[in-house]
Amino acid sequence: MDYKQYIAQKIDVEGVSSEEIASMVNIPPDPAMGDYALPCFRFAKALRKSPVQIAEALASAIAPDEVIAHVSALNGYLNFKVNKQGLAADVLGRIAREGAAYGSSREGAGKTVCIDYSSVNIAKPFHIGHLSTTVLGGALYRIFNFLGYKAVGINHLGDYGTQFGKLIAAYKHWGDRAAVEKGGIHAVNDLYVRFNNEADEAMEAEAREYFRLIESGDKEANDLFEWFKSLTLAYVETIYDRLHIRFDSYAGERFYTDKMAPVVAALKEKGLLKESNGAQIVDLEAYGMPPCLILRSDGASLYATRDLAAAIYRKKTYDFYKCLYVVAYQQNLHFKQVFKVLELMGYDWAKDLVHVAYGMVSLEDGAMSTRKGKVVWLEDVISRCVEKARTVLEEKNPSLEHKDAVAETVGVGAVIFGALYNNKIKDIVFSYDKALNFDGETSVYVQYTCARASSVLAKAAEAKFACAEDFDAAPNEQEAELLKALADLPQTVREAAEKYEPSLVARWCVDTAKLFNKFYFDCKILQAEPSVRAFRLALTKAALTALTNGLGLLGIGVPEKM
Ligand code: ARG
């Protein structure tokens, strides 16, 4: 049973949907107030009454039933007390039945959600600036699939542009096949950086010529380009593996080379194209935006032109319900322009395009700058975090088995969680020490809590203790608080999808782990008398399952021992 939805169904306010009401229901910090609370302020306008009056009227209109034991109104809030014994049987039964699927649903069945994320640039560093898009996109990908949607992960590769001409020019001057083979992406990037630092006018001209050769299908230029591309992809795939990220399509900007002319033609036909200083633009002044540049005066296409072609292609290919672009807020204007142009072209599905913008990540111990080659590679951040995790584990638990594997799970988890814990639009400063704090609001804390639950369950199994989802008494306060949190996972996942905000799941994990620990420290589990023990073991098992599912949605694993 979904308690928030159950409550929402009892309330009928014109103009406010039941889903909206469900998302307004919260769990008050002090259970003495109630198990669930609904603030009524939002209804004041529709009902033209004060929140206090509304709460009072609703409280007397809702009759208690087998789920809701008591309803009261206080200061504009409706407070609900639920039947705790029913709650226990319901939540524990459901988690035991559904296991790894607990929190999932079929509500998205038949709908496709395209998610454009990570979208790396070929031959450029895969740096810490790509962390958020990669892990946010990856989390949304899993969350939408979990809700029954068909998620399509798209890596819109940055594989188009004059930089490839530069790269070939640099390679021709200073490159060496064996050295690049050996150095991979780093060697390729060094060439590019060297070009930016040292190229003179003659080399710039060469670069333009090589770019033209790529465009005109010249074999040598294209072979070199494909080689650089495959080196980049082989490299980023090793990082995607570590972060548990996958894509269904690597159709990048170049893929749209032959798909832009029809877009330009359609723009012209619809009378949207205008000439401006020799360039072709769509004027967006009426919408308070600078013009969207479609073709440069030399006829070359732009980033926006390729995004227009890509959106149309995706609609045709996937018939998406939504198409998400997980891209930094620096590109807000770009996406506003592209979406507006598509709308002006008459595509009603333009309303289904969503720019999922996020803030910047920087490192506590060093700013990042990309231009002249001083970048923080994401790989180095991950490796350093894993190394630190290993040191911390060594200190905490010297006899731990499979230390390397556990350190990888913990370290990678800390990097992912660090990028996902805050509201996505916030800029964040990543700190290795904070990310690996066992007592902080961290993945390590949640993982450690899971290991604690696993250890209780292992001891119980060894002693052949029974486990029982139903209990013939009402749960105590610690148990009830944990049960409510566990019951809340499905609604949390749903809201995370609705708001494109995986941080809601991350926070749920931390809050639930805290409640588990409170239960663990305040209530005896293994030493309790048999019927209480059986119930507490079921609760422990349910908490482990739900936390594992929550972290799993973020791409974070759970070690059995830590
Ligand atoms: N490669 C681009 C960058 O690094 C991001 C591409 C995002 N996706 C898109 N369809 N424009 O800035």
The residue extents of the domains of the chain are 3-82, 163-243, 378-423+431-554
Q: How far is the CA of 77 from the centre of ligand 1 (A)?
A: 45
Average the pLDDT over 479-486 and give the result.
97
Comparing CA positions, the residue from 53, 56, 52 lying closest to residue 72 is: 56
- In sequence order, what are the residues at sequence separation of 6 or more whose Cβ sits closer than 8 angstroms to the Cβ of residue 540? 453, 456, 457, 516, 520, 525
Start-to-end C-alpha separation, the chain: 33
Q: How confident is the model over 301-311, as a mean pLDDT?
A: 97
Give the pLDDT score at 365.
67
> Counting beta carbons within 10 angstroms of the beta carbon of residue 322, is it exposed (0 to 12), middle (13 to 18) or buried (19 or more)?
buried
Quickly state the pLDDT bin for 370 (edges 50, 70, 90). very low
SS3 80: strand
> Residue 234: how many CB atoms within 10 A of its CB?
11
CA distance 384 to 388: 6
CATH 2.70.98.90 fits 378-423+431-554, yes or no: no
Output the average pLDDT for the chain: 94
Ligand 1 first shell, C-beta below 6 A? 116, 119, 121, 156, 158, 307, 310, 325, 327
| DSSP secondary structure of 121-143 | BTTS--BGGGHHHHHHHHHHHHH
Q: How far is the CA of 156 from the centre of ligand 1 (A)?
A: 6
CATH code assigned to 3-82: 3.30.1360.70
Best of 331, 341, 355, 360 to mutate for ligand 1, by most ligand atoms within 8 A of CB? Answer: 331
On whether the CB atoms of residues 561 and 455 are closer than 8 A, the answer is yes
Residue nearest to atom 1 of ligand 1 (CA): 158
Q: How far is CA 303 from CA 38, 124, 262, 505, 533, in A?
A: 46, 17, 16, 33, 62
* pLDDT at residue 2, rounded to an integer: 87
Which atom of ligand 1 is least distant from the CA of 334? 11
The amino acid present at 174, given as its one-letter code, is: W
**Per-residue model confidence (pLDDT) at position 144:** 98
Is the confidence at residue 368, as pLDDT, over 80?
A: no
Strands (E), 93-208: 112-116, 150-154
Give the tokens for residue 36.
């669930």
- Sheet harboring 292-295: ordered strands across? 273-276, 279-282, 292-295
Q: Strand runs (DSSP E) across 172-223, as ranges?
A: none
Calculate mean pLDDT across residues 527-550: 97
Ligand 1 centre to CA of 35 (Å) is 44
Using the predicted structure, report yes or no on whether residue 122 has a pLDDT greater than 60.
yes
Burial bucket for residue 438 (CB in 10 Å: 0-12, 13-18, 19+): middle
For the cut 70, the answer to whether the pLDDT of residue 25 exceeds it is yes
Is the predicted pLDDT of residue 366 greater than 80, yes or no? no
Residues 394-403, mean pLDDT to the nearest whole number: 95
Residue 372 — pLDDT band, cuts 50, 70, 90?
very low
Give, for 386, the enclosing helix (H) or strand (E).
helix 378-396
54-90 pLDDT per residue, tens: 999 999 999 999 999 999 999 999 999 999 999 999 9
The atom number, within ligand 1, closest to the CA of 327 reads: 7
Does 378-423+431-554 match 3-82 at the fold level?
A: no
CA distance 91 to 95: 6
Q: Which atom of ligand 1 is nearest to the CA of 328?
A: 12
User: Over the stretch 411-464, which tens digit does the pLDDT of each residue have?
Assistant: 999 999 999 999 999 998 999 999 999 999 999 999 999 999 999 999 999 999
Tell me if 146 sits within 8 A of 104, measured CB to CB.
yes
Say what the pLDDT of residue 371 is: 45
Is the per-residue pLDDT at 234 higher than 60?
Answer: yes
Position in ligand 1 atom list of the atom nearest CA 307: 10
Rounded CA-CA distance 354/43 in Å is 28
Q: What is the mean pLDDT of residues 479-492?
A: 96
Q: If you average pLDDT over residues 87-98, what whole number do you get? A: 96
